[in-house]
Amino acid sequence: MSLPRPSLTIAVTGLNATDNPAPGVGVIRSLRAEPSFGGRVVGLAYDALDSGLYSREIGLDAGFLIPYPSQGVEALRERLRAVHARTPLDVIIPTLDSELPAFIALEPELRSWGVHMFLPTRDQLELRSKARLGELGERAGLEVPAQRVLSDAGDVYRLGAELPYPLVVKGVFYGAAVVHGPDEAAAAFHATVARWGLPVIAQRFHAGEEYDVVAVGDGRGGMAGAVPMKKLLLSDKGKGWAGVAVKDPHLLEAARRFFTATSWRGPCELEILKTGEGRYLLIEVNPRFPAWCFLAAGAGQNLPWAVTRLALGEQPAPLTDFKAGTLFVRISLDQIASIEDLQSLATAGELLRAREGP
Amino acid sequence: MTGKPTYQRPMLVRHQAGLMNKLSRVAGMRPLTEIDGVPVAALVERFGSPLFVFSERSIVSRHRELRDALSVRLPKARLAWSYKTNYLDAVCKVMHREGSLAEVVSEMELDKALRQVAGTEIIFNGPYKPEGALEKAFRAGARVHLDHFDELARAEAVARRLGLAPKVALRINMSLPGITPWSRFGFNLESGQALDAVRRLRAGGVLQLAGLHAHVGTFVQDVDAYRQEARKLSELANLLAREHGVMVEWIDLGGGFASNNTLHAQYLPGEQVTPSFAQYAEAIAEGLAALALPPGREPTIFLETGRALVDEAGSLVTTVHATKRLTDGRRALILDAGVNSLFTAFWYRHDVVPAQPFAGTPEPTILYGPLCMAIDVVRDQLLFPPLSPGDRIVVRNVGAYNVTQWMQFITDRPAVVLVSRTGEAALMRRRESVETLLAQEEVPAWLA
Amino acid sequence: MDTLQRLKDLAVSESGFVFDPHSGQTFSLNETGRAILEALKRGETVEQIVTDLRQGFEVEPGADLGRDVHEFLLLAREQGWPVPQVEAP
Ligand SMILES: Cc1ncc(COP(=O)(O)O)c(C=O)c1O
């Protein structure tokens, strides 16, 4: 039973909805779409110009800047303490890979303040790290592409026969480039290290159709919900710009196996490739909501709301149904904002909005 | 009585997309005014600047943390202090007092260790062990870990000449996923070279094979590498027992645990990424579970942990000599210590904090050393509060490899002090001077 | 355009946020920086600005205000502010 929680305050990170959008705006729109939720939503942003801060539609009650993950746990703790003092929080939903280690480290302390999260453990996070895909595949009984971890650029010249070109060169957190020879691979290696550091992964490239599954693990090996999607349109950065919910039992089974093998706690996105011969390869697991997660809510599974309830210690009934054929089509629009909002964010690091109406 | 605000240097920062976050580490940055209760200012007053300061409390507590993490899982584990990490006598003394053996990789280190511990408490590694060094090691009863076939032959010749049958180990290298193999040291496992070395050693009939050694790398943040290393050495030990009648007495897993520093090529700070000693120990214990030797014949497990034990204990105190504004708008500080003293600045984005309370808006700042060389950068680009000449800065986590790899280049090396657990401070190494330099020099007679 | 007028167009908030309506750039000033900009708008010279700062702030002995103001003005010029040319102190 989900009790109406009109007074709940939920904070969400990842508000930079550019043409390579962070997931925060999708998560917030999902929360706003939940009829039993009438509470407050607080945006936690990394830059005064993070676009979600200026969205009237998602109706942030407040926005706060938080320090970059590279600033360390201590800085984040102090900032969250200050935010919590201004606007007491009940739940935080972090949505970016790079901030997870810090939020995981802070989870016990935040709980003692009365702030709840539903995140994977450090071990779970480690196990799904891109560098350990092979091991994960073995444990979950899922086929994965061959890959090798590169620790210096010279490694690309020593890749054996099991990794023929073309290859995909990937960073630990983000970024992937298809390369066709060692020189190109070395260049991609350097570009990736400069941005995301070591390690870098070289993965065998397979041709096929890519599917993505947004799903939530209940932390006990079960699946709290899952919606697979096929991208219909890509942006020039290769990000999904339109997609459709699909009902392929193999995709749901892959997610279920992942949860059984890891007891995953929290949201994730599975990237799965279906080859021409009908094999399903697990390419990657992202330990957070994807930017398109609002599609799941539209198709009948409000997964951010499920995460909120799990964070609060409830045990929502698993979401099993959704409407295949539901589409998302992204749109860019220019929002009008005032220089005062920018000023407040740039100087005070916060933006408080008076609520209109009750 | 005035209610006037305190004057700060005027500041002007242009907002740039992607850089509009005034919350930085500085928000949580606190000055480090004392090291184990001793004011930094008092240390500098007494010993000068720049100054390396080591905390005995930190060395001891890290050592005990690792020892405890191991001993709950592996009753026969022992640590061997990796001398190259920091071979100041006083630091080695603390390590030995805490129960560490000595791990040395040169005759110089061997000589240094022999002054501190019994020969049987020394592990002698490395690719370069001349005859004289081998003789010294064998006479003293040290554990010699052989690196290559030529060394094997040389060690046999020396032992035969001395009439000894010393127990030795073989250094093994192996391929581990995600780790660049250090294949230049030791005998390769996968190619069968390691087993060739076993056969060769046994055929020689002089040396006794009693140990296996490997060292997978340094600053290894993936605990899984240790799980696999321990498993592979265990399987090799099983094979030796089963098929070669060799029962190893020790397995040495080398060093390489990461410290809390942050590599240049690392996005998240070390504190979020570096595994704990317990996590490393757990992985090692899991790997060693593959050992299948008869009961009572469990080998001693050695670890040669270096940087992870001593990095945190060391701080470098340095003084702001000047401030500058670069043409790109960044502020630059010129410090009295540079990469000549702080070799690790080439590897790490070091954690730096002011040593006195500070005020003012942080700005993008670059920290330069005193050398007249472009490479002399202590910290590239960080948000740092405005400091003035004479202010002090503490560079943290510099206890490993600096006080051995520092260079006598352009200027002399600073003093090193130890702060005791009761807050006493004393010199471990005097500051160098031009006399230190001249003491080694000669002028050929025809120039005199 | 008249320099003084352009300076006056720089909108400064209490918190030190500056919006330059000519260039569209935004900036942050600390309290002393804000005091200098206000003084510039009043058409003050470097000497007058230094005197103002001494009167308005608790200044530690040894601070070199002339140098600080000079450095600030150079920086402001680099950012395209219509700051009068100044001689090194
Ligand atoms: C054989 C051996 N043992 C131990 C160490 C110490 O390594 P660390 O300081 O990374 O723990 C090294 C360093 O390279 C080494 O070569």
| Chain A residues whose C-beta sits inside 8 Å of any chain B C-beta | 46-49, 65-75, 77-79, 98, 101-102, 105, 131-132, 134, 148-149, 151-152, 155, 172-173, 193, 196-199, 345-347, 349
The Cα A337–Cα B104 span in angstroms is 66
- For residue B173, the domain's CATH number is 3.20.20.10
CB crowding B361-390: b at 16 or more within 10 Å, else e = bbbbbbbbbbbeeeebbbbeebbbbbbeee
Query: Nearest-CA neighbor of A80 among A70, A71, A97, A92?
Result: A92
Is B137 in contact with B111 (CB distance < 8 Å)? no
Give the domain-ending residue among B303, B320, B336: B303
User: Which of B273, B303, B333 is at the close of a domain?
Assistant: B303
Nearest to B11 among C30, C53, C74 (CB): C30
Instruction: Determine whether B188 is exposed, middle or buried from the number of CB atoms within 10 Å of its CB (0-12, 13-18, 19+).
Output: middle
pLDDT of residue C86: 66
Q: In sequence order, what DSSP letters do the residues of A268-323 get, joined into one string? A: EEEEEEEETTS-EEEEEEESS--TTTHHHHHHT--HHHHHHHHHTT--PPPP----
How far is the C-alpha of B403 from the C-alpha of C46, rounded, in Å? Answer: 49
Examine the domain organization and report whether B269 and B328 are in the same domain.
no
pLDDT of residue B244: 92
B151 and B280, same domain (yes or no): yes
Both B262 and B329 in one domain: the answer is no
Q: Which atom of ligand 1 is nearest to the CA of B257?
A: 11
Q: Using CB atoms, which chains have 3+ pairs under 8 A with A?
A: B, C
> Smallest Cβ distance to C27: which of B4, B13, B360?
B13
Does residue B121 fall inside a structural domain? no
Judge if B275 and B367 occupy the same domain: no
Atom of ligand 1 nearest to the CA of B308: 11
Residue B392 tokens, joined = 């002090």
> Which residues of chain A have a CB within 8 Å of the CB of B263?
197-198
C27 touches chain B (CB under 8 A): yes
CB contact under 8 A, B271 and A49: no
CA B422 to chain centre: 25
Residue A282 has phi, psi (to 5 degrees) of -80, 120
Q: Is residue B395 part of a domain?
A: yes
Q: What is the pLDDT of residue B61?
A: 96
Residues of C in contact with A342 (CB under 8 A): 26
Q: Would you say residue B441 lies in a domain?
A: no
Residue B27 lies in a domain: no
| Closest partner CB to C27 (pick from B4, B12, B22) | B12
In one-letter notation, the amino acid at residue A354 is A
Residue B85 in contact with residue B63, Cβ under 8 Å? no
What are chain B's partners, defined as 3 or more CB pairs within 8 angstroms? A, C
Closest residue in A to B223 (Cα) is: A126
Q: Which residue in chain A has the smallest CA separation from C20?
A: A339
The answer, yes or no, to whether residue C2 has pLDDT greater than 80, is no
Task: Give the model's pLDDT for residue B28.
Answer: 57
For residues A196-220, b (16+ Cβ closer than 10 Å) or e, as one string?
Answer: bbbbbbbbbbbebeebbbbbbbbbe
Residues of A in contact with B180 (CB under 8 A): 151-152, 155
Read off the pTM: 0.80
Contact A132 B224 (CB under 8 A): yes
Measured CB to CB, residues of chain C less than 8 Å from chain A are 13, 15-17, 19, 26, 28
Name which residue sits closest to atom 4 of ligand 1, judged by CA. Answer: B255
For residue C76, list chain B residues with Cβ-Cβ distance below 8 A. Answer: 12
The DSSP bridge partners found for residue B302 are B78, B252
The superfamily in CATH containing domain A146-204 is ATP-grasp fold, A domain (3.30.1490.20)
User: C9: Cβ–Cβ under 8 A, 6 or more apart, which residues?
Assistant: C20, C21, C22
* pLDDT given for residue B19 in this prediction: 61
The dihedral of CA B362, B365, B368, B372: what is its sign? negative
Predicted confidence at residue B382, as pLDDT, reads 87
Protein residues whose CB sits closer than 6 Å to any atom of ligand 1: B 82, 85, 103, 125, 215, 218, 254-257, 304-308, 400
Angle between helices A24-32 and A303-311 in degrees, nearest 10: 80
DSSP 8-state code for residue A35 = T
Query: For a substitution probing ligand 1, which of B304, B310, B398, B403 has the most ligand atoms within 8 Å of its CB?
Result: B304
Per CB-CB distance under 8 Å, the chain C contacts of B14 are: 25-27, 79
| β-pair type (B425-429, B77-82) | unpaired
B38 and B153 fall within a common domain: no
Q: What pLDDT does B268 receive?
A: 81
How many helices (H) and strands (E) are present in chain C, helices listed first? 4, 3
Q: Are A56 and A75 contacting, i.e. CB atoms less than 8 angstroms apart?
A: no
Q: Give the right CATH number for A124-128+207-329 from 3.40.50.620, 3.30.470.20, 1.10.238.10, 3.40.50.2000.
A: 3.30.470.20
Same structural domain for residues B364 and B416? Answer: yes
Residues B329 and B379 in one domain: yes
Q: What is the number of the ligand 1 atom nearest to the C-alpha of B400?
A: 9
Chain B, 24 to 53: residues with Cβ < 8 Å from chain C are none
Residues of chain C with C-beta less than 8 angstroms from the C-beta of A343: 13, 15, 17, 19, 26
- In angstroms, rounded to a whole number, what is the distance separating the alpha carbons of residues A24 and A11? 10
Q: Is there a contact between C53 and B22 if contact means CB atoms under 8 Å apart?
A: no
- pLDDT for A358: 38
- Which pLDDT value is given to residue A353? 80
Q: Does ipTM exceed 0.90? A: yes
CATH of the domain at B374: 2.40.37.10
Whether B163 maps to a domain, the answer reads yes
Q: Residue B64 in 3-state DSSP? A: helix
* Site of tokens 């700062």: C53
Chain B's closest residue to C20, CA to CA, is: B14
Distance from A249 to chain B by nearest Cα, in Å?
Answer: 33
Distances (CA, A) of B208 to A180, B102, B301: 52, 21, 18
Residue B411 lies inside a defined structural domain of this protein? yes
Quote the domain boundaries for residue B289: 126-303
- Structural domain count of chain B: 2
Q: Could you give the CA distance from residue B108 to residue B129 in angstroms, rounded to a whole number? A: 11
- Determine the distance separating the centroid of ligand 1 and the alpha carbon of A172, expressed in angstroms: 26
| Low-confidence residues of chain B: pLDDT under 70 | 1-2, 17-28, 178
Q: Identify any residues that bridge with C28 across adjacent strands, giving them in sequence order.
A: B13, C17
Contacts of A339 in chain C (CB under 8 A): 19, 26
Tokens 């230049």 — which residue?
B184
Residues B319 and B246 in one domain: no
Best of B81, B82, B85, B87 to mutate for ligand 1, by most ligand atoms within 8 A of CB? B82
Q: Are A272 and A178 in contact (CB under 8 A)?
A: no
Pick from A77, A93, A85: nearest CA to A44: A93
CA distances from B351 to B26, B43, B314, B348 (A): 11, 20, 12, 9
Fold of A9-118+333-352: Rossmann fold (3.40.50)
What are the structural domain ranges in chain A? 9-118+333-352, 124-128+207-329, 146-204
* Domain boundaries, given as residue ranges, for chain C: 3-78
Comparing alpha-carbon positions, the chain C residue that sits nearest to A339 is C19
Which pairing describes strands A280-286 and A265-275: parallel, antiparallel, or unpaired? antiparallel
* pLDDT at site C89: 54
Could you say which residues of chain A have pLDDT below 50?
A: 1-4, 356-358
* Chain B residue with the nearest C-alpha to that of A82: B27
SS (HEC) of C73-89: HHHHHHCCCCCCCCCCC
Residue A2 has a pLDDT of 46
**pLDDT at residue B100, as a whole number:** 98
